[in-house]
Amino acid sequence: MRLTEFQSSRIQKEAKKFFGSQSHVWLFGSRVDDGQRGGDIDLYIEPGIQDVDALVDARLSFLVEIHRVLGNQKIDVVLHRDNSSVDLPIYRIARETGERLL
């Protein structure tokens, strides 16, 4: 996994803060492969909060804070609500190939 301990701990802390303490977070994509270089930070989050409006606000606030503490780098966030009827392939791929951070 190509995240520093600081990066990982801040992602965990901010995810709990903005998405709720019951949230789960996975790092997926190229940053999971130690043999690659560069790449954006791809995060798959199963939030504790489920309200759509609250999630929009939480996602924006989370990204602002993560950019503030980690610097200006590309960060992608995929959210999957428990009560959503949508089941995209990216959800399964992120969980199966990613590394759980929280």
Percent of residues, the chain, with pLDDT higher than 90 = 83
- The set of residues, in sequence order, having a beta carbon less than 8 Å from that of 68 and lying 6+ positions away, is none
Distance from C-alpha of 55 to C-alpha of 59, rounded to nearest angstrom = 6
pLDDT of 38 reads: 75
Domain 5-100, CATH among 3.30.70.20, 3.30.450.60, 3.30.460.10, 3.30.530.20: 3.30.460.10
Nearest-angstrom CA–CA distance, 60 and 75: 12
- Taking only the tens place, the pLDDT of each residue in 48-88 is 999 999 999 999 999 999 999 999 889 999 999 998 889 99
What is the model's pTM? 0.93
Q: For 1-102, where are the E strands, in sequence order?
A: 24-28, 41-46, 75-79, 99-100
Delimit the domains of the chain by residue range.
5-100
- In the chain, the percentage of residues whose pLDDT exceeds 70 is 100
